Amino acid sequence: MDSARGSTIDAGRIIKVNHAGEHGATNIYAGQIAMARLRAPSLLPELAEFKAHEERHRAIFAKELKRRGLPRCRSYWLCALGGYVLGLLTGLMGAQSIASATVAVERVVLRHLRQQLLEIGNADPDATVAISAILSEEQQHHDQSAKHIRHTGVIDRLIGSGISAATEAVIWLGMRL
């Protein structure tokens, strides 16, 4: 029991949602790569690197799910579809939107990962190891992408806010499915 919140920490649920989220992130980058070939070819090596990181993150959580005998989260395919559409749309809009989308998603993801580590604490060392294993690369994605943002106009801020809100909503939904 987590006395601060009055609820039981479900590390298995957290791992399931993180696995689905990494699947979504893999698909965001797949969509962005498809469009960046036309709109932002200079970002292709970075996007390919980020996608490879996300595939490795997904594998870390998949291994942990298998070890626990848990199925994927019900939001797994929702994350894939939503991620791919987001990747295509932001990729179509160009380098600035690609970078803004990554910053918006990673800002939310980093906050959730850090909160998860605090909530889990020493209660589930395997979950802590899995979450900790991806934190630095997620921070790298955020920081490298932030360097590509040259200006933030009203539209950019609205897009970033919308993407952050959608990311929060998918995480919330995944925790409840």
pLDDT tens digits for 42-86?
A: 999 999 999 999 999 999 999 999 999 999 999 999 999 999 999
Residue 1's pLDDT is 40
- DSSP one-letter code for 7: B
Q: How does pLDDT run across 135-169, given as a tens digit for each residue?
A: 999 999 999 999 999 877 787 788 899 999 999 99
- Beta-strand ranges (E) seen in the chain are none
Query: What's the pTM value of the predicted model, to 2 decimals?
Result: 0.91
CATH no. for 11-176: 1.20.1260
Query: Would you kindly state where each structural domain of the chain is located, as residue ranges?
Result: 11-176
Neighbouring C-alpha atoms within 13 Å toward the C-beta of 163? 28
